[in-house]
Amino acid sequence: MLLAAPRGFCAGVQRAIDAVEAALVRFGTPVYVRRPIVHNRAVMRALEAKGAVFVQELDEVPAGAVVIFSAHGVAPAVAREAAERSLIAYDAVCPLVSKVHREVVRHHRAGRHILLIGHDGHPEVEGTLGQVPPGAVSVVQSLGQLRALGLPSSAPVAYAVQTTYSVDEAAVLIAGILDLFDDVQAPATDDICYATTNRQSALRAIAGDSDAIIVVGASFSSNANRLAEIARETGCLSVQLVEDGAALDWALLAGAETVGITSAASTPESSVDDVLALLAGRYDVQVHEHRNAVETMAFKQLRLG
Ligand code: SF4
């Protein structure tokens, strides 16, 4: 078995989970969380067991209660609504998502139209769109969408990228933007975050030697889905995205001598351990970890003032 590293929790996910746990200690139960704090059901269930209550919208939160916004970031309108409803709100947005927000605002103020490479409807994309007035940003996912915008080649544009986007797919779109427009402003540093980049390249490093690949992560996690897509792109014919061992499709592992395993940035290591334990119960396995990068990134804890 080839175990990709880095895998699992990134610094932003850890900070968001820590924020909910710290709020539960500081304020007691319940602490409300708007939307999944990170895209993983095991994480959400563990926090619910400690007293967190997940809601979709703020109107589900009683006035005066404590609410935490997820790691994906929110539009300023959400923070305003929380203030209007006298909620005690804390924003657990990942600092690397905040960086994209600041860039988008800066480009808008400079008079540029922003092309956001991202998945329409994803909470991070919604939060980024909400930083500027409607129409200031176009979300693009394909070269066809980019061309269909009908913007003149002389239009001053800037691009930004969802932090969990596929590095390779973003590169294709960025090349298309540079090809289509004469005046393009790029992000000061890459928008796709270190954790996404590292997990995608760690998977690529083991994919060629794997007969089957298991991505441990939630079906609604963007970075888990990107990892599964990348595994398929490498030509592996047996790829499965599972949230835990119970979801394993054993038929997909039939005949595989080497199984590659990785996990999304929102997946707890306990879910990977669960999968490994079940595999070890059925097969004679040897686990080799293949480390592609060492991660030292850590963010300051959210202040619950
Ligand atoms: S995946 Fe990247 S942007 Fe998202 S929370 Fe983790 S570090 Fe932050």
**What is the value of pTM for the model shown?**
0.95
Q: Is the CB of 192 under 6 A from ligand 1?
A: no
DSSP of 27-67:
H-S-EEEES-SSS-HHHHHHHHHHTEEEESSGGGSPTT-EE
| CA–CA distance, 294 with 171 (Å, rounded to integer) | 24
Claim to verify: residue 257 and residue 234 sit in the same structural domain: yes
Claim to verify: residue 31 and residue 72 sit in the same structural domain: yes
pLDDT by residue (tens digit) across 113-135?
Answer: 999 999 999 999 999 999 999 99
Claim to verify: residue 285 and residue 212 sit in the same structural domain: yes
Q: In what order do the strands lie in the sheet with 52-55?
A: 52-55, 31-34, 66-69, 88-91
Neighbours of 289 (CB within 10 A): 13
State phi, psi for 180 to the nearest 5 degrees.
Answer: -80, -30
**Identity of residue 8:** G
Neighbours of 295 (CB within 10 A): 15
Residue of minimum CA distance from atom 2 in ligand 1:
193
Distance from residue 274's CA to the centre of ligand 1 (Å): 24
Q: Give the range of the structural domain holding residue 123, as residue numbers without chain letter.
A: 96-185
DSSP of 163-186:
TTS-HHHHHHHHHHHHHH-SSEEP
Out of 168, 185, 202, pick the residue that ends a domain: 185
Do 4 and 215 touch, CB atoms closer than 8 A?
no
The bridge status of strand 259-263 relative to strand 2-5 is: parallel
| CA–CA distance, 180 with 151 (Å, rounded to integer) | 9
Dig out the tokens for 3 from the structure: 């175990």
pLDDT by residue (tens digit) across 22-77?
Answer: 999 999 999 999 999 999 999 999 999 999 999 999 999 999 999 999 999 999 99
Q: Is the CB of 16 under 6 A from ligand 1?
A: no
pLDDT attached to residue 188: 86
**Identity of residue 182:** D
Find the CATH number of the domain harbouring 85. 3.40.50.11270
Q: Is residue 297 part of a domain?
A: no
Claim to verify: residue 152 and residue 216 sit in the same structural domain: no
pLDDT by residue (tens digit) across 190-215?
Answer: 999 999 999 999 999 999 999 999 99
Confidence at 305, pLDDT banded by 50, 70, 90: confident
User: Hey, which of 38, 100, 193, 299 would you mutate to test ligand 1's pocket, going by the most ligand atoms within 8 Å of its Cβ?
Assistant: 193
Which one of the listed residues 124, 126, 169, 269 is annotated catalytic? 124
Can 124 be counted among the known catalytic residues?
yes
Distance from residue 3's CA to the centre of ligand 1 (Å): 21
Tell me the chain's radius of gyration from C-alpha atoms.
20
Out of 94, 117, 144, pick the residue that ends a domain: 94
| CA–CA distance, 231 with 166 (Å, rounded to integer) | 12
**Identity of residue 243:** E
Residue of minimum CA distance from atom 5 in ligand 1:
12
